[in-house]
Structure 1
Amino acid sequence: MENRRSRRAAAAVALVTALLTLVGALAAPAAAAPPPPYVHGGQTVPTYSYASAVRESVQVDTKLDSDHDGTPDTVSVDIVRPRTATRVPVIMEASPYYSCCGRGNEFQLKKYDRNGTILSMPLAYDNYFVPRGYAFVAVDLVGTSRSTGCGDVGGPAEIGSVEAVVDWLNGRGTARYRDGRTARPGWTTGRVGMIGKSWDGTLANGVAATGVRGLATIVPISGISSWYDYMRLDGVPRATGYPGWLAGAVDGRPAGTCDAVQAGLTSAGDDTTGDYNDFWAARDYVPDAGKVRASVLIAHGLNDQNVFARNFSRWWDALAEHHVPRKLWLHQEGHTDPFDIDRGAWMTMLHRWFDYWLQGIHNGVMGGPKVRVERAPQQWQQQADYPAPGARPVRLSLAAGGGGAGTIGTGGGSGTVALTDNPDLTETQAVGDPNAARSDRATFLSTALSGTTHLSGTPTVTLRFRSDEPDTELTAKLVDYGTAARDDYLANDLSGIEDLDTRSCWGESTADDSACYLDTTEVVHSTDYGVLSRGWTDAAHRTGLTRYTPVAPGRWYSITIRLQPQDQLLAAGHHLGLVVSLSDTENTSPSSTGAKVTVDLAHSTLSLPVAGATHLGTVATAPQLTVTAPATRATRSTPARRLP
């Protein structure tokens, strides 16, 4: 009996001891998980050999049949990843350009070994980030290179093909190696960051707008957020037949495979009216900003004449409305990657950005101002937001002059001006010699600014007009008259940069894949004037973009021209100019009607987005300005279809 009691007591003590041990274990703080082997000092550091990285090529299955051949499309995906048992996140660039046109300032293409496995990737992302514990994944867009299907220019097929790759990386899809073996992404954490310039950055915007899980961040560089805002300018086509031509320019399928699809794209785009229709709505990512789960780092040129700045500003504003974590880099060049403008600062930012959003390293990258902006050549500033906090629309009046330039000022507007459409009018003719009387443009000048004026936001011009034709294009250009050093953003195919003879290296190289790239510099000239912003609209779309409504000849109407957003300083002593004309065949492909238009200036205004003091006053007579056309600056040509 005694032994039985002793055994029961011992058992009770053991049970209490076990329970206390369990409670203690639950109450004690969990031991912090050790950082990955490639994280030291609060950042990822080169740890793995780039030369011995795993290189593989797979075909990802989709649920699409964009070429209508009865077989689901497959997407070709090339991968470079560290040779490690540790799972790593993914930096991904999807592009239509890997075999047709090249990537980056040096137009690099993918290169493969004799077995069809990736040997060399364009750009430095793999060289720089793979040794630091990232995988780099390059996706051939549907219908291009080694992918099947047909591209639909930013539409459901293209976005869906890239979304399928994100799904596969997160275990929600299937893929095969080129020899038919099943490919499983057991090497990745599933966290994906998309990056790319132009069309590639556009794909990042579009995929983020689906809300796909696993896409943690995007870095769109000169990206499109609305294909209508890329190919149309408030009802005015930039070039006719653009969608079908663009799909054909990157087509990697056998001849004839995608002809019907491409013809359908051009037809659906509707050059005849220029309307915003279902075709364009399917390629407008801005309304879906509320679905975005990813953080967003945007980079864009304020003077980008390929993908106009409206594409970043509308996207930026929509993301803000939905509280999406975001930051913004703005520069004064054209269609250019920050890698070729301020390389060291940009790569530092990318490194910190991806470390935070893909690796979970708390490095403070989201602290401080949201915006870094270049307001003049190599003059960078931090700014709390965009537009600059406190920026407000300043309404300025327009008044007619005595046969030459009219005036811009804070007083009342008066008089009328008459314009006759001239399809041969060049921008140099329109904005140069502003005091000369011309029948094909009207110019308005301010007094000399009494202090530096900060423009930050989107200017608009509202005109009360009548036309003797049922339709006409209306063009407005905001000009800074005054000598200054300015970026020549039209130079070298609208990039605004030129190559130097030196190279800098960003990551590890192999015999087949160099990490060293030509250094570049901004093209800068001293000029007597610079065009700050441009805007175009179609008179038959004055009430909205979804319906073509011709004007009644001789009847008065009001229309607002939205210019492209800008962030720039106007120097004291300079004059602000506004130039109004009709068709602009250097920048658009209008149906030039030969219209004669009268503008009622008493009911027309310029709205200028100003942060701080305006430094503009009333003016009775336009100042007489002598300016020299910038002969050394690059000039425009008739707008051709161009790749984004």
Structure 2
Amino acid sequence: MPIRTRFTIWRPLAAAAVTLLTAAFLTPTARAAPRESLPVYSYDDAVRQAVWVDTRLDGDGDGRTDRVAVDIVRPREPAARGRKVPVIMDASPYYSCCGRGNESQRKTYDANGAVVQTPLFYDNYFVPRGYAFVAVDLAGTNRSDGCVDVGGRSDVLSAKAVIDWLGGRGTAYTTRTGATAVKAGWTDGTTGMIGKSWDGTIANGVAATGVKGLKTIVPISAISSWYDYYFQQGAPLYDSGPDWLSDYVDSPDARAKCAAVQRRLVEQAPRTGDRTGLWKERDYVRHASRVEASVFLVHGLQDLNVRMKHVGQWWDALAKYGVERKIWLSQTGHVDPFDFRRADWVKTLHRWFDHELLGYDNGIDREPMADVERHPDQWVTSRSWPPRGTRTTTLRPDQGVHPGVGALGLRKGHGAAAFTDDPRLGETDWAARIDTATPDKAGFVTAPLTRDLRLSGSSEVTVTATPTTPTAHLTAVLVDLGPDTIRDYAASGEGITTLADRTCWGVSSAGDSACFKETAPRTADVGHTVVSRGWADLGTYADAGRGVPLTPGRAYSITLDLAATDHVVPAGHRLALIVAGTDKDLIDPPADTPTLTLDLSRTSARVPLVGGARAFAAATSTAATSTATSTATSTGTASGAATTAPDASRSAPADGVRAPRPAPRIP
């Protein structure tokens, strides 16, 4: 365990570790294969080296191939003994513009240009354990040549070029412009990539090239398809495009040289939401068959920056091709596991890299595939994910016994429900008024559950809707109706509070502390929890890649993809399906203000339930327990019955967490 401290720096006793390791080799059990790498190498004496790798690209059009800057921290002793080490690599655009981690750390350098601080704990912790840490400036950022192209060829291939060099298949130089080549003779050619957000996205993209030598990736809160970062089925999720993001991280040199790249990012990413060749190039899911590396995926179930849709489609594609996988799902938003489950994270990551890069048989591959945070700091595991026995179950909305009150069950629905798009409202407003008929939503709920019901995986909602205008956007959400205490993902910190105390993870140096501020869960008491979300432009009904104007009065059918989730709706709670228009702060409104009428006989939700339809039937049986009866007194609503619009100025009530729009919008 780390030492908790405010003012002092913890430093492992390397000499003691060496003594223990030497003693182990003198015992009869020493012949057994090692199960854990130990901190036996000096961090103070580590080699700190900068090289510039030739990418064989000329993204900035200056007539010479771009070189990307690579800062290396590696133990000195193995090379002196003729031993080679594996690499842990984080390729990032953020090392100078924005920083990494909860404390926004940046790279720092000495007077000779050698790296002094690399952000996060990776070098402090893993270098003494016999790994090299490699921090790559993506093309167009910090000390690298080229241009940022936001997940495209330049981003991905500039990182891939480094892995090729580490494997002896590329060329690097001692300076940015010099001619002195340098080889990576100190590494065994095996690499693991890690990173959060854009960094983890690049790990996904590089893995999808099938590059030799990449043994594992650890993508944290990462994108799997850039189209789905900016749009969902034609519905715009942000009021800016990749050109804004590129400009945000570009180095001064890149801003001066990369106007042509910026123009392409504008011209080939139209705000119509049409899928162009630019988006196809940035879709890693379609190349999942090339992935040879294992994948340890970490994501927040309530991440509204890089949404859980990225998890579901990537995970399912990897499963299709038999990729070795592991997953952690937290209740947080866009948060690193170092900041929501620190001790377990460092231990697990250590074991994962030992197994995948050093080949240690430590049993991690035989442990449960999934860890899921069910309540703040309360975790459960699943042998597989989604769990065995999960079945896609078709749930159908229907008119209720009272006007404007909708039900959700297994039987085919009938009749209609109508709502008018109100861009002032969103999912938390709809859920808070689920038991009141309002004109801005169509809501359908089950009876109070008599048993727990677990959703695990991705859902989809098919609607047949008749609009009154040529443009219309749709939202579908699944909601757990009932009281709970959750991580407050909508607040500052997205589910964590940063504390003053620090804990230390590895060895510190004069310019690079291994001690980081601790965190604690930031919680909220709620009356409902949004479980899964999905959006679409109804104009993409015939082609998800291209929207067209609608004919008012004509019925259109479309299937909305809902984000993956893992959530238990407890006995006594109700499960709700809400269909509405603009989801405030999460999608942008259409050009018009449509009223849409749903044909309930042709509207349904396909939901992954553990136990399938049988579990749903058992959980919604009429033999309600006294607890369930006391929890809810109404079966829900369908829209259109109320004549008074809800108060749009009302803030999110205490029983809901308002979904935030990330700012600034960087993945």
State whether TM-score is above 0.5: yes
Aligned to 2:635: 623
- Indicate yes or no: 2:661 matched with 1:642: no
Q: Note the C-alpha offset of 1:389.
A: 1.2
Q: Note the C-alpha offset of 1:459.
A: 2.3
- Indicate yes or no: 2:71 matched with 1:78: yes
Aligned to 2:454: 454
- Indicate yes or no: 2:54 matched with 1:54: no
Contact 2:233–2:545 at 8 Å: present in 1 too? Answer: no
Q: Note the C-alpha offset of 1:622.
A: 4.5
- Indicate yes or no: 2:550 matched with 1:551: yes
Aligned to 1:15: none
* 634 and 510 in structure 1: CA distance in 2 versus 1, 3 angstrom threshold: farther
* 164 and 638 in structure 1: CA distance in 2 versus 1, 3 angstrom threshold: closer
Q: Note the C-alpha offset of 1:169.
A: 0.9
Aligned-partner Cα distance in 2 for 1:415–1:130: 65
Aligned-partner Cα distance in 1 for 2:388–2:276: 35
SS at match of 2:283: coil
1:177 corresponds to which letter in structure 2?
A: T
Q: Note the C-alpha offset of 1:624.
A: 6.8
Aligned-partner Cα distance in 2 for 1:640–1:107: 15
2:143 corresponds to which letter in structure 1?
A: R
Aligned-partner Cα distance in 2 for 1:531–1:221: 22
Q: How many residues align?
A: 604
SS at match of 1:543: coil
Q: Deviations over 1:505-536 (max 9, x none)?
A: 11000111111111112222221111111110
Comparing 286-295 and 545-554, the one that deviates more: 545-554
* 178 and 634 in structure 1: CA distance in 2 versus 1, 3 angstrom threshold: farther
How do 1:205-604 residues align onto structure 2 when only pairs under 5 Å count?
Answer: 205-254=204-253, 255-272=255-272, 274-401=273-400, 402-493=402-493, 495-604=494-603
Q: Note the C-alpha offset of 1:41.
A: 4.5
Q: Note the C-alpha offset of 1:470.
A: 2.2
Instruction: In structure 2, list runs of 5 or more residues that go unmatched.
Output: 1-24, 625-632, 638-650
- Indicate yes or no: 2:149 matched with 1:130: no
Contact 2:526–2:655 at 8 Å: present in 1 too? Answer: no
Contact 1:454–1:568 at 8 Å: present in 2 too? Answer: yes
Aligned to 1:610: 609
- Indicate yes or no: 2:61 matched with 1:68: yes
Q: Note the C-alpha offset of 1:640.
A: 5.5
SS at match of 2:260: helix
Q: Note the C-alpha offset of 1:395.
A: 1.9
TM-score, length-normalised on structure 2?
0.87
Aligned-partner Cα distance in 2 for 1:152–1:490: 30
How do 1:86-125 residues align onto structure 2 when only pairs under 5 Å count?
Answer: 86-125=83-122
2:450 corresponds to which letter in structure 1?
A: S
2:333 corresponds to which letter in structure 1?
A: G
Aligned-partner Cα distance in 2 for 1:159–1:486: 36
2:175 corresponds to which letter in structure 1?
A: R
Q: Note the C-alpha offset of 1:567.
A: 0.5
Aligned-partner Cα distance in 2 for 1:429–1:217: 42
SS at match of 1:459: strand
Comparing 259-268 and 175-184, the one that deviates more: 175-184
Comparing 365-374 and 227-236, the one that deviates more: 365-374
Q: Note the C-alpha offset of 1:136.
A: 0.3
* 57 and 323 in structure 1: CA distance in 2 versus 1, 3 angstrom threshold: same
Q: Pick from 158, 164, 167 the counterpart of residue 167 of structure 1.
A: 164
Aligned to 2:7: none
Aligned-partner Cα distance in 1 for 2:319–2:283: 17
Q: Note the C-alpha offset of 1:486.
A: 1.4
1:122 corresponds to which letter in structure 2?
A: P
* 165 and 638 in structure 1: CA distance in 2 versus 1, 3 angstrom threshold: closer
Aligned-partner Cα distance in 2 for 1:632–1:435: 13
**Greater than 6 Å deviation, 4+ residue runs:** none
SS at match of 2:492: helix
TM-score, length-normalised on structure 1?
0.90
Contact 2:528–2:656 at 8 Å: present in 1 too? Answer: no
Q: Deviations over 1:107-134 (max 9, x none)?
A: 1000000111101110000000000001
Contact 1:587–1:639 at 8 Å: present in 2 too? Answer: no
Aligned to 1:19: none
Aligned-partner Cα distance in 1 for 2:360–2:315: 25
Q: Note the C-alpha offset of 1:277.
A: 2.1
Q: Note the C-alpha offset of 1:55.
A: 0.6
1:616 corresponds to which letter in structure 2?
A: T
* 308 and 248 in structure 1: CA distance in 2 versus 1, 3 angstrom threshold: same
SS at match of 2:563: coil
Aligned to 1:202: 201
1:42 corresponds to which letter in structure 2?
A: R
Aligned-partner Cα distance in 2 for 1:360–1:168: 22
Q: Note the C-alpha offset of 1:324.
A: 1.5
Aligned-partner Cα distance in 2 for 1:638–1:174: 42
* 588 and 230 in structure 1: CA distance in 2 versus 1, 3 angstrom threshold: same
1:623 corresponds to which letter in structure 2?
A: T
Aligned to 2:139: 142
1:643 corresponds to which letter in structure 2?
A: I
Contact 1:528–1:630 at 8 Å: present in 2 too? Answer: no
Q: Note the C-alpha offset of 1:415.
A: 2.2
Contact 2:428–2:656 at 8 Å: present in 1 too? Answer: no
SS at match of 2:76: coil
Contact 2:406–2:635 at 8 Å: present in 1 too? Answer: no
Aligned-partner Cα distance in 2 for 1:260–1:444: 50
Comparing 176-185 and 574-583, the one that deviates more: 176-185
Instruction: In structure 1, list runs of 5 or more residues that go unmatched.
Output: 1-31
1:406 corresponds to which letter in structure 2?
A: G
Aligned-partner Cα distance in 2 for 1:153–1:453: 40
Aligned-partner Cα distance in 1 for 2:636–2:359: 60
Aligned-partner Cα distance in 2 for 1:73–1:168: 14
Aligned-partner Cα distance in 2 for 1:153–1:114: 31
Aligned-partner Cα distance in 2 for 1:497–1:117: 34
Aligned-partner Cα distance in 2 for 1:262–1:124: 34
Aligned-partner Cα distance in 1 for 2:392–2:167: 46
Contact 1:93–1:138 at 8 Å: present in 2 too? Answer: yes
Aligned-partner Cα distance in 1 for 2:403–2:153: 53
Aligned-partner Cα distance in 2 for 1:204–1:130: 21
Q: Deviations over 1:14-55 (max 9, x none)?
A: xxxxxxxxxxxxxxxxxx9xxxx9x98521101111111111
Contact 2:426–2:582 at 8 Å: present in 1 too? Answer: no
SS at match of 2:518: strand
**Which structure's CA Rg is the greater one?**
1
Contact 2:159–2:206 at 8 Å: present in 1 too? Answer: yes
* 592 and 263 in structure 1: CA distance in 2 versus 1, 3 angstrom threshold: same
Contact 1:409–1:617 at 8 Å: present in 2 too? Answer: no
Q: Give % identity.
A: 48
* 501 and 194 in structure 1: CA distance in 2 versus 1, 3 angstrom threshold: same
